[in-house]
Structure 1
Amino acid sequence: MQLVTVLLFCLIHLFAGKLRFLDAIPRSRWLSFAGGVSVAYIFIHLFPEMAEIQSTFASKDSTWLSLEHQTYFIALIGLSVFYGLERLIKGGREKQDAAQSKTVRYAFWLHLLSFALYNALIAYLLVHRQDDAEMGLLFYAIAMSLHFLVNDYGLRQHHKEVYRVYGRWILSAAIVVGWLLGRYLALNENIIHGLFAFLAGSIILNVLKEELPEERKSRFLPFASGITVFALLVYLH
């Protein structure tokens, strides 16, 4: 099941650009639906799992990040890092001209590297999830697949042809590398919990930044439908 999920993640990056119905203004209702599913996953799965991780940290007599709310602090760092990267990339595009092409290329590779690490982390935690049940894997696969679809659309809009030529292949390879690392490299439990919290904060930012900007002209009803459908799937399984 994990291998099938990894292949699905890769196929989304490799072939999502061929789904021309996603390239629409107002925003494609399918992208808004996918964003709704991702938001539902955050609130129904990520937040409760973060609470469990925080309980684990609190129950251990350890000086490792000995803060009162370590999990949420790490999640805040994840959100802040990706917000900073997003502002950097957008600032580079707003100042783009022929004289600054080198800067634009630097911004592209920085953006791509950050999402390659992000994808590798998602694939790594596919192996080391808090919820190791089959249904938990299914929900993770659904939510992250749709999340990758939304991210891929955003990256294609940002970087155009250079993303089609290089970006999608690198991000797909990062998924495979992250999964293989998860299979063969077991980190300390505290580190895995910290990575999960960092990922949770990153997902929150990356979901909302794709849905909230006014120029996206997102659709509320498909977004709400995505939330409703995923919530029903979770509570009825």
Structure 2
Amino acid sequence: MENYVSIWPVVILALIHFFGTRLRFLAGVPRSIWLSGAGGVSVAYVFLHLFPELSEGQEHVEQLNVAETFLSHHVYLVALIGLAVFYGLERIVVEQRYQQKKKEHVEPRHEQGFFWLHIGSFAIYNALIGYILFQREEESLQNLLLFSVAMALHFIVNDFGLQEHHKNSYRRYGRWVLVAALIMGWGIGFVVELPEALVALVLAFVGGGVILNVLKEELPKERESRYWAFALGAGLYAILLLSL
């Protein structure tokens, strides 16, 4: 790989974590139309571009020995696992916040444990995305650009959600961990070449995570999300993807 084009999307995604705390105009209630629109773009990409790739990747997954009984028909099972994992983590964080609002005592070590569990899971998520960025460069520039735009907007949504949950802990430690994980995942691409079957499974897991992480930010009633902005973002990006 001569040009290392994928380093630029990695830099942009890292900068989102660095400077996301300064995008004050996106904060507040009702939810920013830009955040809702960004979520719509991310979901449109998963359904119209990433999931169709999984149907093609299923052929490679079926060549794995374990696939004969476990994944022989449904690579989407891994997408479901990704969604379920992030849903479970979100429930843990929401329960912690509920206990705090009830003014029940939460030991600092437990609070820090929840924080690192949450950030650790997103670090793995970022590392997988970093690896996919490297992989996308080997496929085509168009695939790299489409994935990068969707993930950049998705990272903005994630960044605001994590700030809301963890506040100073995220600004002081969490975002740096996520940046390091993203770069590490991209760097692993230089030394580890996964079989196409495993790349398909990584894409499936990330796809499930994207769907859950977007919808969990849009659905809570107290956010007063803008459905029309979400639908507009999804619709416009869908038109772009279908026209290519």
2:197 aligned with 1:193 = no
Quote the Cα distance in structure 2 between the aligned partners of 1:73 and 1:19: 36
Aligned to 2:58: 54
Quote the Cα distance in structure 2 between the aligned partners of 1:210 and 1:129: 27
Greater mean deviation of Cα atoms: 209-218 or 23-32: 209-218
Aligned to 1:135: 142
User: What one-letter code is carried by the residue in structure 1 that aligns with 2:49?
Assistant: H
Match of 2:237 among 230, 233, 237: 230
Q: 1:130 to 1:8 in 2, by over 3 A?
A: closer
- The answer to whether the 8 Å contact 1:92/1:103 transfers is no
Match of 2:13 among 9, 15, 20: 9
- The answer to whether the 8 Å contact 1:57/1:70 transfers is no
Q: Which runs of 4+ in 1 moved over 4 A?
A: none
Matches within 5 A, 1:1-237: 1-58=5-62, 60=63, 62-66=64-68, 67=70, 68-96=72-100, 97-129=104-136, 132-237=139-244
How much does 1:198 deviate?
1.4
Provide structure 1 residue ranges, at least 5 long, that are not aligned to the other structure. none
Quote the Cα distance in structure 2 between the aligned partners of 1:140 and 1:131: 13
The C-alpha deviation readout for 1:89-119, integer Å capped at 9, x for no partner, is: 1112222355422211110011011001100
Count of residue pairs brought into register by the alignment: 235
How much does 1:20 deviate?
0.4
The C-alpha deviation readout for 1:108-166, integer Å capped at 9, x for no partner, is: 01101100110011111112249822111111010000000000000000001111111
Provide structure 2 residue ranges, at least 5 long, that are not aligned to the other structure. none
Say which SS state the counterpart of residue 212 (structure 2) adopts. Answer: helix
Quote the Cα distance in structure 1 between the aligned partners of 2:7 and 2:137: 18
Quote the Cα distance in structure 1 between the aligned partners of 2:150 and 2:22: 21
- C-alpha RMSD of the superposition: 1.7
Greater mean deviation of Cα atoms: 32-41 or 83-92: 83-92
- The answer to whether the 8 Å contact 2:99/2:106 transfers is no
- The answer to whether the 8 Å contact 2:61/2:198 transfers is no
